Copies of this chain bind each other. A is one copy, B any other.
Amino acid sequence: MAMENVKQFVFVLSAAAAVGFVCIVFVLRWVLYFREGLAWDGGAAEFNWHPVLIVTGFIFLQGIAIVVYRLPWTWSCSKLMMKLIHAGLNLLAFVFAVISLVAVFDFHNAAKIPNMYSLHSWVGLSAVILYALQILLGIGVYLIPITPVSIRAAFMPIHVYSGLFIFTSVVATALMGITEKLIFSLKDPAYKNSPPEATFVNVLGILIVIFGALILWIATRTSWKRPSDQVLHTLHTNGGGEANSKVGPTMSQLSGGGDTEAFGDVRRRSSKLDDQVD
């Protein structure tokens, strides 16, 4: 990655981290200042763990987990270590999501409110189930050493797409959750009269959208990928579905130089197929 490109990356990453951090501050101020605070008592203060854990874990931590391979200063670390960090952050985000579900089910049961009636709950629970499946399949395909390289390569476009799809679904679910909660809890003045809490939490919703947009921008910039993963992408671009027959030309293009420093031009690096998909 050229230095100019690294500067742009660091700028967008810093913006994402800053917006994500402000989201966490906003959700904490929402529940601590405007609402009933945090507790584990079956009441409204237990419900409040739901937005706090979703924003902190299922949105912020998952977002960071998605872009962790992009950090140029990790490109000298082993791929295995980066995969463990990626998996670890996603597992942590999953734990946050599960505890946040327990909080809202507990609250509903104590208050005799039905569970799973809303579109928010349908999309949200689907996202959590798909996330569990994504983590299990990710571990099985990319962390269990015996999985063949051909399966790893074939599954990568699905792994990447479903990761971004789940993340986007979580952001959309959070927007529905904010909408529901403001309608249900603001009564006098109501949501439609725009009391300070309504405006404040709408801004939180906009900030969550901006955080999501920045993470998706980072994740989809091919030139910001970890060098060995850029190679895989080029291979997919040129090879389409029939990888085996078309590896040849791409590989020969890539093996022109022996330059292996971490920030080198990808086309000058020698590279093995193994390294691109493990």
By a beta-carbon cutoff of 8 Å, the part of chain A in contact with chain B is: 1-2, 4-5, 8, 113-114, 117-120, 122-123, 126, 157, 161, 165, 168-169, 171-172, 175-176, 178-180, 182-184, 191-194, 198, 201-202, 205-206, 209, 213, 216-217, 220-223, 230, 233-234, 236-242, 249, 253, 266-267
Contacts and interface: CB of A to CB of B under 8 A. Distances in A.
24 contacts: A2-B240, A2-B242, A4-B241, A5-B240, A5-B241, A114-B193, A114-B194, A117-B191, A117-B193, A119-B179, A119-B202, A120-B179, A122-B202, A123-B206, A126-B206, A161-B216, A179-B180, A180-B183, A183-B183, A183-B184, A222-B236, A222-B240, A223-B240, A237-B237
A213 B165 contact: yes
A205 to B, nearest CB: 4
B169 A209 contact: yes
Given A8-B241, A183-B183, A238-B267, 4 more contacts: A4-B241, A119-B205, A126-B206, A183-B184
Contacts of A209: 123, 169, 172
Interface majority SS (helix, strand, loop, mixed), chain A:
helix
Contacts of A179: 118-120, 176, 179-180
A217 B120 CA distance: 23
A165 B119 contact: no
B198 A117 contact: yes
A192 B241 contact: no
Contacts of A234: 234, 237-238
Contact of A117 (B5, B161, B192, B222): B192
A170 to B, nearest CB: 11
A122 B208 CA distance: 13
Contacts of A122: 202, 205-206
Contacts of A193: 114, 117
A248 B122 CA distance: 51
A218 to B, nearest CB: 11
A176 B191 CA distance: 14
Contacts of A194: 114, 117
